[in-house]
Amino acid sequence: MNLSERQQKILRFIISFMGAHEYPPTIREIGEEVGISSTSVVNYNLAKLEEYELIARDREVSRGLSLNRPRLAEIGFLAATNGSANGGARSAAAGRFTVPVLGRIAAGEPIGAIPREAHDPEEWIEIAEGLVNVPSDRLFALRVKGNSMIDASVLDGDIVILRQQDTANDGDMVAAWIEGDEETTLKYLYRDGADVRLMPANPNPEYKPIVRPAERVRINGKVVSVIRVLH
């Protein structure tokens, strides 16, 4: 499945259009935007996209389009459009973001450098816009494995949503890799001169802050939301 330049533009336009409107565009609207004079050509490419199962169409229905968001996310299209990365269409007021779950985070298990582009994430989740207070670019999620984060009130199975960034402000909850300790942890970050102090969220004195030299702490991202789904 190789998307032509036009098909990609069409896809991008549909996504941004549906973000801005609440209904899909017409064939002609697509044509005008993408620069296709013939409706039949748009139709032709739409048929291709449907063949690839990236969109679905209702025949003989005006604006009878719908996006296959999971598939789109798989090929990195929704993620690209969510953010301002892939210079171009900016998804507006759509009300939901698709975020890749990049892996599990567990005691002692490094999550490595968080990739800037999604690389074959194991799953995707959709979140409502209101659940994050930041621009939707560079968001990713991790599923928490084990109870090592319990001092941050994050439990086994929880999903933490982070924004990829190398630095953070005092008081931010971050996912950080601690060299030497060789473990990733979720803590509140505070700077203390040349040291960083990683404070647990749990005020219980049993959970003590971790103090390490700043150069030994690598911040993976800032936690913007924690979601727990019970069964």
Closest contact distance (angstroms) between CB of 2 and DNA is 7
By three-state DSSP, how is residue 13 classified?
Answer: helix
Catalytic residue among 91, 187, 222, 225: 187
8 Å CB contact between 101 and 121: yes
Radius of gyration of the chain (CA): 21
Instruction: Give CA–CA dist 74/165, Å, rounded.
Output: 23
Residues in region 34-73 near DNA by CB under 7 A: 36-41, 43-45, 48, 57, 59-64
| Concatenated DSSP letters of 179-196 | TTTTEEEEEEEEEETTEE
Residues in region 52-91 near its own copies by CB under 8 A: 58, 61-67
Catalytic residue among 148, 153, 208, 222: 148
Residues in region 3-62 near its own copies by CB under 8 A: 18, 21-24, 26, 58, 61-62
Q: Which of 49, 127, 175, 196 binds its own copies (CB under 8 A)?
A: 127
Tell the burial category of 27 from Cβ atoms under 10 Å away from its Cβ (0-12, 13-18, 19+): buried
**148 included as an active-site residue:** yes
27 touches, from its own copies, DNA, none (C-beta below 5 to 8 Å by class): DNA
Closest contact distance (angstroms) between CB of 177 and its own copies is 19
Residue 226 touches its own copies, criterion: CB under 8 A: yes
Residues in region 181-220 near its own copies by CB under 8 A: 201-204, 206
Q: How far is CA 184 from CA 85, 106, 171, 189, in A?
A: 27, 7, 18, 13
Measured in whole angstroms, how far is the alpha carbon of residue 215 from the centre of its chain? 28
Instruction: Give CA–CA dist 78/97, Å, rounded.
Output: 8
Q: Any idea which residues carry the catalytic annotation?
A: 148, 187
Q: Kindly list the residues in this chain that would bind DNA in the complex (CB under 7 A).
A: 4, 6, 26-29, 36-41, 43-45, 48, 57, 59-64
Residues of this chain that bind its own copies (CB under 8 A): 18, 21-24, 26, 58, 61-67, 95-96, 125-133, 147, 150, 153-155, 172-173, 201-204, 206, 222-231
